[in-house]
Amino acid sequence: MARVNVNILGISKLKWTGMGEFKSDDHYIYYCRQEPLRRNGVAIMVNKRVQNAVLGCNLKNDRMISVRFQGKPFNITVIQVYAPTSNGEEAEVERFYEDLQDLLELTPKKDVLFIIGDWNVKVGSQETPAVTGNFGFGIQNEAGQRLIEFCQQNAQVIANTLFQQHKRRLYTWTSPDGQHQNQTDYILCSQRWRSSIKSAKTRLGADCGSDHELLIAIFRLKLKKVGKTTRPFRYDLNQIPYDYTVEVRNRFKGLDLIDRVPDELWNEVHDIVQETGIKATPMEKKCKKAKWLSGEALQIAVKRREAKSKGEKERHKHLNAEFQRTARRDKAFLNDQCKEIEGNNRMEKTRNLFKKIKRYQGNISCQDGLDKGQKWYGPNRSRRLRRMDVRHTQL
């Protein structure tokens, strides 16, 4: 995300299990994956700056989730979807659009709305007034007409058909043999905010380990940071130098203690301690948070990206498989550490428990097994759950 300068990233066909949210390095991930066969799954990933504006998220099901951000002058809602393929049953397709319509009804009308993801349809290059432009790709199919009808019903415009681009900036999917391309991923935006769209095109060579290309849209919108208290300065009390002791002792000896008002004397003592501490005592260093991906996996990812940019398909395929194996191994190690923490908690080994928690604090805090009927939750999740009296929720 940092390399291609993306703030909000939608992911389709996620092969994880469970649902919830966790932090990985400087990014925050909201995901939903309920089906045990691991066929579907969606996620939204945001960077640290954008995460400060998150108001909450709705984990609808394994085909769609939404995240709401505090913006200026209006809040912003992003919905990530993964639609059924053209081989899916008609009932499954209708259920998908019904669930999406229900999710839209839960979204405040004043919000700036974006619906992104893999729609598994082709809307074609023919213009549809107020919905698509002249710069689509391919020929429209029946599923594409269904998406256009949905956009007309909800006043949505398909952003990546509005801008004239080179062909390689239009298609979003390439067949395994590299002979066929299609445009099946789309970014929908409210017609009211169409003028805020600056560009929408695919980014080749993004190295996302998929047969889909990264589709990027640039919007002119402002996020508003959710207010948080300022963290006070912390001093490293384990490394107080002798100079600090000497200077404080000398300055205390020079205090005039006769006929002094207690409040004035206290303020003077406070100033002496604080000024001397700032000058002589080192600040406490922040502990670097452990990455769940090892250095080996990150190096393989760099080699995979280079192979893709050079067009070395066989080498890219081999490196992609190697990266997947390494990532699964790293994730398994982290899961083992979580199980060890849970075991220490059950056996009341508090010393080992807090030692492990401190080591991995801030790196990951999965929220698996949340109640399917749960709606909006976010930074004030606990208070809202108590107010709504939601039961059977695993915290």
Q: What is the DSSP letter of 328?
A: H
Where in the chain are the domains? 8-227, 237-280
DSSP string, 135-183: ---S---HHHHHHHHHHHHHTEEEGGGSS---GGGT--EE-TTSS-EE-
For 73-130, how does the pLDDT look when each residue is reduced to its tens digit (9 = 90+)? 889 999 999 999 888 788 999 999 999 999 999 899 889 999 999 999 999 988 899 8
Interatomic CA distance for residues 117 and 134, integer angstroms: 21
Q: Tell me how far apart the alpha carbons of residues 100 and 93 are, in angstroms, rounded to a whole number.
A: 11
Please tell me the distance from the alpha carbon of residue 43 to that of residue 65, in angstroms, as a whole number.
7
Res 224: pLDDT: 65
Query: In this predicted structure, what is the pLDDT of residue 291?
Result: 58
List, for residues 318-362, the tens digit of each pLDDT value.
888 888 888 888 877 777 777 888 888 888 788 877 877 776 664
For 362: left if phi > 0, alpha if psi spans -120 to 50, otherwise beta; the answer is left
| Predicted local distance difference test score (pLDDT) of residue 386 | 46
pLDDT at 388: 43
Question: What is the identity of the amino acid at 26?
Answer: D
The dihedral sign for the CA sequence 15, 68, 76, 92: positive
* CB-based contact 225:242 (threshold 8 Å): no
CB neighbour list of residue 342: distance below 8 Å, 6 or more residues apart: none
Q: Kindly report whether the global pTM for this prediction surpasses the value 0.75.
A: no
- Spell out, as residue ranges, where the chain has pLDDT lower than 70: 34-38, 223-235, 284-292, 359-395
The answer to whether domain 8-227 has CATH 3.40.630.30 is no
Instruction: Label residues 279-300 b or e (16+ Cβ within 10 Å = b).
Output: ebbeeeeeeebeebbeeebeeb
pLDDT at 114: 94
